Structure 1
Amino acid sequence: MTSATTDLRPDAEALLRDLAGPNATLRDDQWTAIEALVVHRRRALVVQRTGWGKSAVYFISAKLLRAQGRGPTVIVSPLLALMRNQVESAARAGVRAATINSGNVTEWEEIHQQVARGEVDVLLVSPERLNNPDFRDQVLPSLAADAGLVVVDEAHCVSDWGHDFRPDYRRIRTLVAELGDGIPVLATTATANDRVVEDVSSQLGVGGSDTLVLRGGLERESLRLSVVRIDGATERAAWLGQRLASLPGSGIVYALTVSAARDLASLLADQGHVVAAYTGQTDPAEREQLEADLLANRVKALIATSALGMGFDKPDLGFVVHLGAPSSPIAYYQQVGRAGRSTDRAEVVLLPGPEDRQIWSWFASVAFPREHIVRRVLEVLDLERPQSTQALEPQVELNRSRLEMVLKVLDVDGAVRRVRGGWIGTGQPWEYDAARYERLEQARAAEQQAMLEYETTSSCRMEFLRRQLDDPLLADGPAPCGRCDNCTGAAPDSAVDEAEIARVRQRLDRPGVDLAPRKQWPTGLAKLGVSLSGKITDGPLTGRAIGRLSDLGWGARLRALFDAPDGPVPDAIVDAAIRVLAAWDWEVRPTAVMAIESDLRPQLVSSLATRLAQVGRLTDLGTVARTPGRPPVSAANSAYRVAGLAGAFVTPDPLPADGPILLVDDLWDTGWTLTTAARELRSAGAPAVLPFAIATPN
């Protein structure tokens, strides 16, 4: 051991105590990683289970390198929840950390300046930012030249063999390739089998002979894995409603789709459980509040999609339940790994359904498209004039999200380039890697089959998962955990009370969709001239919509309605709205109705409000008009959207309403239009506002 190494370990131990408490000590394998990065400036790939201490390695390394006069550490991190946890952890060790992501748009410029002034020790960057033209061309080159360390967290995302491939992650290989001499690189993940490890190493250039590879075992002594097989979706929801209160502590209930998460959260809340939905469509400010609620045990569970997964850090999480199986054992292990990190026992229950395979098939259908479709994208791109994704969409056989994904992959491959104003072609030759995509399709099918085998196996479930992830510490022979339902013979009871099933069926068959009100203003509004922050105290109550545009039942009819030219509301939509309103369990019935002035469908919205006023004997207060001269708001970012909507509505003064107002709109998308309009009505004297929309996207 060199003198430099000997001198640094006590400093590293002291930093660990700042991070993890006065009794914490570095394990030898953690020190091995830190030494490789700080002393020898090597590249390292660390594949270790959740709770091993990967974040401690890179925060301690960042601080030690900073003390040597090195530049800031750049951490590419995929999720806002992970970033927030990391910033809080860094502060405990005296590490000055800042983050650039979709949740703090208004702070980006200030953070760029702090980095330039040397006031930031650690910069956490979302992978999407790496492909932003300004960041890529103005900020990234200096970071690549001067960084003290580059960390790729959740590195399995760089591999399309991984369970959560993201095309933006491929931009990281460009960053790594452009690093200055002697800048170490650390790639970390908790969930990668041999194939993913090999691909990550190749993509990031961390697989050379001088690379340190630390790969640990995946055994989790606290997890009690079990599978409950109940065919009916209604019965599975009823089973969970009956047993949720008896599960230990607070936890996560995963659903496969946004709609399922929202429906299940609404159902469980109606049964008296303190739960909330958490999905990729939840606003960043609300996600942060929901995460805090779960950390503080103010909710029994978050009903979540995979948006709540990587990096969410609650060591005492008591349970993880899946209503519907993920499509791969690797993804499943990653999600259940959130539980039981500091507890002796955590319950992990999978309730698979026969519809799971249909959902897997849909997700597979939106993978990288066939060659002729990609070639068409390249054909319509101009070599000089930028075109936005929105402008390109009508010219190709792809929806916007898939088109965006294809463009990102082509950008990394050098065939297109993202610039201000959109995308341009580069004219560089590009080859469609058909063999790779075929292998990927086969691998996906094999993983789905493995997940089905996990559901039905009679052997140890933990051993099954460890073998799927090529656990290097797993013996060749049987290695039962002794804790899962198969090892103990103590499977959870699958019986469900018939009366409870009937109640759940009645609730799920109830017409309408809940519209959960916005609870938190977006951050950064003050910088946009809007004096709103914190919790929303004067917004609307919980609202209703007829259905989702993605519904199997009403979806097709609602999409057809929105695709048709504007006109008076059809009788079928009025009848459906009446059924939804009749089933609305409101505390106080509305006494009046108003329509929001619509840019796209003014006749549809105003005529629906008029018909509802007639049928419900409500006072028709006309339309909440838009302020003359205000342009339509098209911003997708919440802060800019609210700023555009603030003061955008004109309400009668005084407001002739002596009770709650039913506020009608065509589409509840982000929810900000109805929220800001309701706030204006509340300010004008309305005691309450009940939002009603014809449809919601999901």
Structure 2
Amino acid sequence: MSQDRAAVRERAEAVLRRLAGEHARLREDQWRAIEALVVDRRRVLCVQRTGWGKSAVYFVATALLRGHGPAAPSAAGPTAGPAPTPPDTGPTVIVSPLLALMRNQVEAAARAGIRARTINSANLAEWDEITAEIHAGAVDVLLISPERLNNPDFRDSVLPRLAATTGLLVVDEAHCVSDWGHDFRPDYRRLRTFLGNLPDRTPVLATTATANARVTGDVAEQLGDALVLRGTLDRESLRLGVVDLPGPAHRLAWLADHLDGLPGSGIVYTLTVAAATETAEFLRTRGWSVAAYTGQAEDADRRAAEQDLLDNKIKALVATSALGMGFDKPDLGFVVHLGAPPSPIAYYQQVGRAGRAVAHAEVLLLPGPEDQAIWRYFASLAFPPEEQVRAVLAALPTDRPMSTQALEPLVDLRRARLELMLKVLDVDGAVRRVRGGWLATGQPWIYDEARLRRVAAARAAEQQAMTQYATTPGCRMRYLRECLDDTGAADCGRCDRCATPLFGADVSDAALTAAQTFLGRPGVQIAPKKLWPTGLDAVGVPLKGRIAPAEQALPGRAVGRLSDLGWGGRLRGLVGPDTPDGPVPDDVVAAVVEVLKAWAHGDDPWPRRPAGVVAVGSRTHPLLVGSLAERIAAVGRLPLLGQVPATGSPGVGGPRGNSAQRVRALHGTVDVPAALADVLAGLDGPVLLVDDLVESGWTMTMVTRELRRAGAPAVLPLALAVAS
């Protein structure tokens, strides 16, 4: 058997050279993983740093299992090594989270002579052809997303045979399997079913670069009897540093001044879509060739931006976490974070994009005091409380499918949060996804509140650890490695704690002035609602289809978004749910006046000058909204016509609720006072409708509807802030 293993290793080394070049050699743990998969047909969990070569393990193993490796050396005899894979053995199935990763891996497989295909939402027309190729044995590697495992057509027509004939299962980014992981995805839990349907001794490989001891143990337990290969997480090419700056304008100015001092091309990560968009726009005004990359961009635009960075046509992508796992540019020279991710593990994963094929790469964090508010917001979108989950289970029938759109009006959850919850319930067996929607299974289900509390506590601890990373007096790489439970963690000798910092906090007067001017520009548009939410009749609201043009608002304006780098922090301090009420500050009034001037004389002006001001009656900030309406009326020499209460039904349609529930809460509660109604009919211009915060937009929409029905010729919404 020792000779057999030696022969297998020789063939494995030959495949690696085809994949990575004539000078490539297997690392010892790479060989141990391949040996366990190919010879022993075991399950393996490989926790290794980015750039270590995890993909080489499964491509080499695939080549050997599928009989595409070089023949055994003649001296070993015709029987040396395991017999070639029989023709009816199925392909390697790689479960991978992102299309970008799939594209890279299909290209890499081809270099090793491996035929790879992918089934995803972007190639629906090719599914039948690919399925036929799989059944004919013409596909060596099939890449699928975890979501595909529960697509009804794929699950019922493709998955059973695929699971029964899989030659090797690869779970990429396996930390997503664990709800202790920084990027838990419910669909990954479906792998339990896939694992259970695999033939005996089917090898399984799970890989990740970002797993601490708890996540590693959780994933290994789910795999069952797995060989765990965990290596050092040190990245010798990365030079870590933190630059502490006073505020958003200084951070933008620093980027504009110091990008030319960063090697090659790289990534500037931001925490929000608005920050990515603003940062890219500002850097372009300072002469830098950059592109924004967010989850809200079209797929074609994201692909083009990725390619421009790969081709070094731009200095940087300014990206949210949408550019994370799967983006592979070995010569990436730097990663800068404008704001800290919520955990050291997530941070390590993102900075791991840099320095894979270069001797040195710069990794810099520019933290801000607003980071923790952003962390809290995303944490608030976690798994809903039990009463909301039970409401969903009670609303779902057991005999006919209900779509997410039809279910949404019956429960007070926004679409994304509802879909996430349904996925978890599906994995737990309480619901089932079928053609046409979802069914309740009727199976008993327990709300594991204790576990959810433990996960929330773990997330809070990770946030605290990330805060401490910025101020740690010791080695930064050692700190990150210790957070990931790397037992070999030691001082790196390269970071700004171990050596003289290469970057200071200096910014030029010109760049700072430009950044302050850029971020100080007030004004964002409020788009009017034109369609009612679907399914309102199911909750007793007789509204559907298009909102009548005679009841719509005109396009409105706000000072800024709560997520803006410039006005965001100032506005959060005024309109947040826990902020004290009080008169509107003078500097904010000045910003509102600038917004009104630009609105009146800009490229898209209001059709007519407002004829009066109406305030939305606020339950949380009556002094703020009332004083804002008074100041606007005084500056514009307009009559203050009064206010319209719009508090809605208590406990329904809150800030985390969906549109249908918000309309339900407001319907029938908005009452235009008789005295105001008498005035509206005689106006010769629009009403300026003033509020503090636009979240869903339905309060403005419902108040506008009642004002228009009472006789207002038009309504111009004006708010201090919009939520996003």
TM-score range, shorter chain: 0.7 to 0.9
Q: SS of 1:230's equivalent? A: coil
- Counterpart of 1:22, as a letter, is E
Conserved? CA contact 1:159–1:199, under 8 Å: yes
**2:112 paired with 1:93:** yes
**2:338 paired with 1:323:** yes
Q: For residues 166 and 242 of structure 1, do their structure 2 counterparts lie closer, same or farther at Cα, with a shift above 3 Å needed?
A: same
Alignment partners' CA distance in 1, 2:141 and 2:422: 30
1:163 maps to: 182
1:509 maps to: 520
Structure 2: runs of 5+ lacking an equivalent: 68-84, 526-554, 573-590, 608-718
Q: For residues 39 and 375 of structure 1, do their structure 2 counterparts lie closer, same or farther at Cα, with a shift above 3 Å needed?
A: same
2:242 maps to: 227
Spell out, residue by residue over 1:179-231, the C-alpha distance to the aligned partner (whole angstroms, 9 max, x if none): 1122111000001000001111223x23x2xx211100011111110001113
2:439 maps to: 424
How far off is 1:436 after superposition? 0.7
Alignment partners' CA distance in 1, 2:523 and 2:114: 49
Q: For residues 240 and 275 of structure 1, do their structure 2 counterparts lie closer, same or farther at Cα, with a shift above 3 Å needed?
A: same
2:196 maps to: 177
1:66 maps to: 66
Q: SS of 2:205's equivalent? A: strand
Conserved? CA contact 1:103–1:285, under 8 Å: no
**2:135 paired with 1:124:** no
**2:125 paired with 1:106:** yes
How far off is 1:301 after superposition? 0.4
Alignment partners' CA distance in 1, 2:263 and 2:193: 45
Q: SS of 1:123's equivalent? A: strand
Q: SS of 2:241's equivalent? A: strand
**2:20 paired with 1:20:** yes
Alignment partners' CA distance in 2, 1:231 and 1:481: 28
Q: For residues 198 and 109 of structure 1, do their structure 2 counterparts lie closer, same or farther at Cα, with a shift above 3 Å needed?
A: same
**2:207 paired with 1:188:** yes
Alignment partners' CA distance in 2, 1:545 and 1:146: 58
Q: For residues 464 and 549 of structure 1, do their structure 2 counterparts lie closer, same or farther at Cα, with a shift above 3 Å needed?
A: closer
1:482 maps to: 493
2:651 maps to: none
Alignment partners' CA distance in 2, 1:218 and 1:355: 30
How far off is 1:382 after superposition? 0.6
Identity of aligned residues (%): 62
Provide the alpha-carbon RMSD of the alignment.
3.0
Alignment partners' CA distance in 2, 1:386 and 1:577: 50
How far off is 1:145 after superposition? 0.3
Q: For residues 580 and 265 of structure 1, do their structure 2 counterparts lie closer, same or farther at Cα, with a shift above 3 Å needed?
A: farther
Conserved? CA contact 1:81–1:308, under 8 Å: no
Alignment partners' CA distance in 2, 1:353 and 1:175: 43
TM-score normalized with structure 2 length = 0.71
Alignment partners' CA distance in 2, 1:574 and 1:112: 62
Conserved? CA contact 1:38–1:65, under 8 Å: yes
1:7 maps to: 7
**2:598 paired with 1:579:** yes
Conserved? CA contact 1:215–1:472, under 8 Å: no
Correspondences of 1:675-690 after superposition (within 5 Å): none
Alignment partners' CA distance in 1, 2:55 and 2:333: 22
**2:256 paired with 1:241:** yes
Alignment partners' CA distance in 2, 1:59 and 1:460: 36
How far off is 1:117 after superposition? 2.4
Alignment partners' CA distance in 1, 2:150 and 2:282: 40
How far off is 1:124 after superposition? 0.5
Alignment partners' CA distance in 1, 2:521 and 2:557: 11
Conserved? CA contact 2:524–2:561, under 8 Å: no
**2:50 paired with 1:31:** no
Q: For residues 579 and 41 of structure 1, do their structure 2 counterparts lie closer, same or farther at Cα, with a shift above 3 Å needed?
A: same
**2:426 paired with 1:415:** no
Q: For residues 201 and 481 of structure 1, do their structure 2 counterparts lie closer, same or farther at Cα, with a shift above 3 Å needed?
A: same
**2:415 paired with 1:433:** no
Conserved? CA contact 1:276–1:290, under 8 Å: yes
Alignment partners' CA distance in 1, 2:557 and 2:114: 50
**2:464 paired with 1:449:** yes
Conserved? CA contact 1:159–1:196, under 8 Å: yes
How far off is 1:366 after superposition? 0.6
- Counterpart of 1:502, as a letter, is T
Alignment partners' CA distance in 2, 1:495 and 1:254: 21
Which of 305, 308, 314 is residue 320 of structure 2 equivalent to? Answer: 305
Alignment partners' CA distance in 2, 1:307 and 1:510: 27
**2:212 paired with 1:201:** no
How far off is 1:480 after superposition? 1.4
Alignment partners' CA distance in 1, 2:495 and 2:211: 22
Q: For residues 220 and 551 of structure 1, do their structure 2 counterparts lie closer, same or farther at Cα, with a shift above 3 Å needed?
A: closer
Aligned residues: 544
Q: SS of 2:66's equivalent? A: helix
Q: SS of 2:44's equivalent? A: strand
Correspondences of 1:512-661 after superposition (within 5 Å): 579=598
Conserved? CA contact 1:511–1:546, under 8 Å: no
Q: SS of 1:260's equivalent? A: helix
Q: For residues 436 and 425 of structure 1, do their structure 2 counterparts lie closer, same or farther at Cα, with a shift above 3 Å needed?
A: same
How far off is 1:101 after superposition? 2.2
Alignment partners' CA distance in 2, 1:222 and 1:160: 31
Alignment partners' CA distance in 2, 1:392 and 1:317: 45
Conserved? CA contact 2:165–2:199, under 8 Å: yes
Spell out, residue by residue over 1:455-503, the C-alpha distance to the aligned partner (whole angstroms, 9 max, x if none): 11110000000000011323xxxx2111110111426211222332221
Alignment partners' CA distance in 2, 1:118 and 1:512: 59
Alignment partners' CA distance in 1, 2:512 and 2:594: 28
Q: Which piece of structure 1 moves more, 225-234 or 411-420?
A: 225-234
Q: For residues 578 and 551 of structure 1, do their structure 2 counterparts lie closer, same or farther at Cα, with a shift above 3 Å needed?
A: farther
Q: SS of 2:192's equivalent? A: helix
Spell out, residue by residue over 1:313-349, the C-alpha distance to the aligned partner (whole angstroms, 9 max, x if none): 1111100000000010000011111111121111100
- Counterpart of 2:465, as a letter, is A
Conserved? CA contact 1:80–1:284, under 8 Å: no
Conserved? CA contact 1:510–1:583, under 8 Å: no
How far off is 1:266 after superposition? 1.2
1:395 maps to: 410
How far off is 1:355 after superposition? 0.4
- Counterpart of 1:236, as a letter, is R
Conserved? CA contact 2:238–2:354, under 8 Å: yes
Q: For residues 549 and 260 of structure 1, do their structure 2 counterparts lie closer, same or farther at Cα, with a shift above 3 Å needed?
A: closer
Spell out, residue by residue over 1:352-376, the C-alpha distance to the aligned partner (whole angstroms, 9 max, x if none): 0000000000111111111111111
1:671 maps to: none
Alignment partners' CA distance in 2, 1:339 and 1:247: 12
How far off is 1:114 after superposition? 2.2
1:370 maps to: 385
- Counterpart of 1:177, as a letter, is G
How far off is 1:573 after superposition? 13
Q: SS of 1:488's equivalent? A: coil
How far off is 1:513 after superposition? 6.3
1:465 maps to: 480
Conserved? CA contact 2:522–2:594, under 8 Å: no
Conserved? CA contact 2:220–2:228, under 8 Å: no
Alignment partners' CA distance in 1, 2:328 and 2:66: 26
Alignment partners' CA distance in 2, 1:129 and 1:549: 35
Conserved? CA contact 2:398–2:440, under 8 Å: yes
Q: For residues 545 and 462 of structure 1, do their structure 2 counterparts lie closer, same or farther at Cα, with a shift above 3 Å needed?
A: farther
How far off is 1:511 after superposition? 4.9
How far off is 1:6 after superposition? 2.6
Alignment partners' CA distance in 1, 2:429 and 2:413: 21
Alignment partners' CA distance in 1, 2:291 and 2:186: 30
Alignment partners' CA distance in 1, 2:592 and 2:366: 36
Q: SS of 1:310's equivalent? A: coil
- Counterpart of 2:498, as a letter, is C
Conserved? CA contact 1:226–1:348, under 8 Å: yes
Q: For residues 82 and 697 of structure 1, do their structure 2 counterparts lie closer, same or farther at Cα, with a shift above 3 Å needed?
A: farther
Q: SS of 1:46's equivalent? A: strand
